[in-house]
Amino acid sequence: MARQKELALYRNIGIIAHIDAGKTTTTERVLYYTGRKHQIIDVHDTKDGKSSTTTDYLEQEKKRGITIQSAAVSTEWKGYHINLIDTPGHVDFTIEVNRSLRVLDGAVVVFDGVAGVEPQTETNWRLADQYNVPRMCYVNKMDRIGANFAHCVKSIRERLGANALLCQIPLGSQDEFVGMVDLVAGAAYVWQSSDKDSEWEVVPLDQVRARFKFTVTRDDEWMDKLPQLRKELIESALAMDDDAFMHYVETGEFDQMKLKECIRIGAVSGKLIPVLCGSSFKNKGVQQLLDAVVDYLPYPGENGGISMVDLDGNIIGKQEVRDDAPVRALAFKVINDQFGTLTFTRIYSGVIKKGDTMMNVTRGKKERVGRIVEVQANTTKDIDEVRAGDICAFVSMKDTETGDSLTDLQHPVLLERMRFPDPVISVSVEAKTRDDIDKMSAALYKMAKADPSLRLNVDPETGETVLRGMGELHLEITIDRMRSELGVEANMGKPKVSFREAFGNRVDHIYTHKKQTGGSGQYAEVKMVFEPGEPGTGVVFVDEVVGGRIPREFIPSVEFAVKTESRAGQIAGYEVLDFKARLIDGKYHDVDSSALAFEIAGRHCFREAHRMSKPRLLEPMMRIEVVTESEFLGDVIGDMNRRRGQVTDQGTKGMQAFVHGFVPLAEMFGYINYLRSATRGRGTFTMEFNNYSEVPAGLVDKLMEKEAK
Ligand SMILES: Nc1nc2c(ncn2[C@@H]2O[C@H](COP(=O)(O)OP(=O)(O)OP(=O)(O)O)[C@@H](O)[C@H]2O)c(=O)[nH]1
Ligand SMILES: [Mg+2]
């Protein structure tokens, strides 16, 4: 079968934002206006458990009114094929944003028109920077009391450092919000009502000032500035094309198509960030947003191909997004539900047909392609083949996990890896009933497989099961989903901080493993140097043995020993981060040396060296934002200091005050209760992992004692 739709008619788009900005509400409108759904369900209508929005369908999402996992849906708009991923805003589920951005070509960043840039907007924006994803901004909730477009644009420019290109200006705000001026088209769109099927009237730009008068002064002032704003838009956009720009400067004329083309060049290259506005809830601006997605965000491959890497992650080449090339695909999400396993996959090049066999290069295993489906609103549609640029789900794949590279059998290669965030908090988990004991480990294993930001450990000595994750909510939801989806009930212990350890000083150490038991003995000697590394450098093993002082075949055993042993440091068994281990010399015996003997020597050498190095304990340091009424700010700051926190910034945000700072996670359990009582319920906070920082020497024992309880 030939290609049905050319690549230029594809858009793979993510919706990202801070919690509650209106991503799911917007997605729901998109599905309605693109004809995928015949009714709109609102997030707050779902708590009865009977209805759900398309993308928030988990019991936990409905109950809490928040998105927990990203969901991919496909739809059509004006002849374009759009794959859309609605992501969660809550920081505990940041893995979902991460993996979505990894496979998307463009993103719509949604803002709450009252709040402007919020902490997770910033985090997600930086993630999109890392993955090089072009984006545009949609200032939603213009109907809310306190909505302030100017404030939002200012925060987009200042806090995100974005070169915001104002393509739309709202017509009024709050209950006066009736539509928007489209500076590109040179016309305003005015809705008759907030009904989902309400039509909009097109008003020529030169009539707008005379026709609209708003009671909020700042809204009204925008109307005076329209001619100037349009001029600015045209100039900034045409600057992308020298000829068009010169022509405009000389004659004052420009071509409308050219203008859009220039905005597209700017947006696709990331030089310009188009800014739109609307109210998804009041059904204003969503169709225009879709038009802008099509007009300004890139099609697959428009920004270049996908990087291929060697086993160490070094880039070895780029694969163009083309059908007539080897298959290159990346699995980015695995869902287990009543239909079985769905493996969501982005295809970068080649064609995959039902019945094909692919290579999972990450795991070195073959995978047969049984069914291929496209997920639409509430159904899945079977398809026979997928091509370069597509996003689809494979049904019932056996071995493929998130982040795995899939290719054809003839041309295996790894694609650039996904980065997974590090879990900072842990809980012990205990099955509720005897019946559940056996089922629990299998169930938790399944949950952890689907969510790479979860880690599962079973202590071999005590048999205790420990689950690590991104935050209290993340772990709570995991346990609750295990109950509702897999029928296994468990109790969670008190959440604990996931500390880390590090080497204090450089240590040179020799360890000799010698054992004589009857017949053959064991003998291995290693001489190693351990040095603390810079944060983020990981565990580096260097083989510096010369002259065959240790036979080649035994060296991997030493490396293996150091790497596995570093998972439990000598202070209290936490993972040891960032160090370099150099194997510089050693001794062996022709008969008594073996891989096992060298492994044992490596393990002991690591342990003793770590102990001797004056090891340091590291704790997760969190970036926090608290927003509350100004009158409570003093108390909140005082409390933050008592929690060993450090304030970096404070100020006002609309009618409220905010404080930014860093606090150790160890001091933050139950913070929500403190904040509620200290601010009479009028304070909110968001907190996310920033870095690992050294625990002050005097506190190590106290913290470890607390943890042991
Ligand atoms: N007034 C107003 N409320 C809105 C608008 N859009 C969304 N909301 C409301 O804001 C709340 C959050 O909306 P969601 O769509 O769940 O937000 P989200 O960004 O998906 O949130 P998370 O997925 O949890 O991060 C809901 O109560 C919506 O009804 C809007 O345009 N105006
Ligand atoms: Mg949502």
Q: Is the CB of 389 under 6 A from ligand 1?
A: no
Which one-letter DSSP state was computed for residue 669?
T
Quote the pLDDT of residue 209: 95
pLDDT band at 48 (very low <50, low <70, confident <90, very high): low
Q: Which atom of ligand 1 has the smallest separation from the CA of 278?
A: 31
Lowest mean pLDDT among 287-301, 376-390, 539-553, 569-583: 376-390
Kind of pairing between the strands at 683-694 and 616-628: antiparallel
Identify the CA nearest to 102 among candidates 119, 85, 82: 85
pLDDT band at 51 (very low <50, low <70, confident <90, very high): low
Q: Is the CB of 124 under 6 A from ligand 1?
A: no
Residues of the chain above pLDDT 70, percent: 97
Block residue for tokens 């008592």: 642
Q: Which ligand is nearest to the CA of 281?
A: 1
Q: Is the CB of 62 under 6 A from ligand 1?
A: no
Q: Is the CB of 67 under 6 A from ligand 1?
A: yes
The CA distance from 219 to 150, in Å, is 9
Determine the distance separating the centroid of ligand 2 and the alpha carbon of 420, expressed in angstroms: 21
Instruction: Output the DSSP codes for 59-115.
Output: HHHHHHTS--S-EEEEEEETTEEEEEEE---SGGGHHHHHHHHHH-SEEEEEEETTT
Determine the distance separating the centroid of ligand 1 and the alpha carbon of 15, expressed in angstroms: 13
Q: Is the CB of 43 under 6 A from ligand 1?
A: yes
Per-residue model confidence as pLDDT tens digits over 305-322: 888 888 877 889 899 999
| Cβ within 8 Å of residue 140, ≥6 positions away | 21, 22, 25, 26, 110, 111, 112, 113, 277, 278, 279, 280
Other beta carbons within 10 angstroms of residue 232's beta carbon come to 14
Quote the pLDDT of residue 437: 84
Q: Rounded to 5 degrees, what angle do the CA atoms 393, 398, 399 make?
A: 100
Q: Which atom of ligand 1 has the smallest separation from the CA of 56?
A: 23
pLDDT band at 518 (very low <50, low <70, confident <90, very high): low
Q: Which one of 64, 108, 281 would you pick to mutate in the ligand 1 pocket, going by the greatest count of ligand atoms within 8 A of its CB?
A: 281
Q: What is the pTM (predicted TM-score) of this model? A: 0.84
Q: Is the CB of 283 under 6 A from ligand 1?
A: no
Determine the distance separating the centroid of ligand 1 and the alpha carbon of 292, expressed in angstroms: 21
Q: Is the CB of 143 under 6 A from ligand 1?
A: yes
Q: Is the CB of 281 under 6 A from ligand 1?
A: yes
Q: Which atom of ligand 1 has the smallest separation from the CA of 66?
A: 24
| Cβ within 8 Å of residue 545, ≥6 positions away | 555, 583, 584, 585, 586
Quote the pLDDT of residue 552: 94
Per-residue model confidence as pLDDT tens digits over 195-207: 999 999 999 999 9
Per-residue model confidence as pLDDT tens digits over 369-425: 999 998 876 678 899 999 999 999 999 898 898 889 999 999 999 998 787 877 888
pLDDT band at 662 (very low <50, low <70, confident <90, very high): very high
Instruction: Please list the residues that pair with 347 across neighbouring strands.
Output: 329
Q: Is the CB of 92 under 6 A from ligand 1?
A: no
| Cβ within 8 Å of residue 706, ≥6 positions away | 666
pLDDT above 90: residue 111: yes
Per-residue model confidence as pLDDT tens digits over 207-243: 999 999 999 999 999 999 999 999 999 999 999 999 9
Radius of gyration of the chain (CA): 28
| Atom 2, ligand 1: residue with shortest CA distance | 141
pLDDT above 80: residue 70: no
pLDDT above 70: residue 654: no
Left, alpha or beta for 487 (phi > 0: left; psi -120 to 50: alpha)?
A: left
User: Can you read off the two tokens belonging to residue 130?
Assistant: 């890392």
Say if residues 696 and 99 touch (Cβ distance below 8 Å).
no
Taking the CA atoms of 348, 421, 486 and 59 in sequence, report the sign of the dihedral they define: negative
Mean pLDDT of the chain: 91
Determine the distance separating the centroid of ligand 1 and the alpha carbon of 424, expressed in angstroms: 28
Residues of the chain above pLDDT 90, percent: 67
The CA distance from 259 to 186, in Å, is 12
Quote the pLDDT of residue 649: 92
Taking the CA atoms of 421, 413, 71 and 30 in sequence, report the sign of the dihedral they define: positive
Quote the pLDDT of residue 706: 78
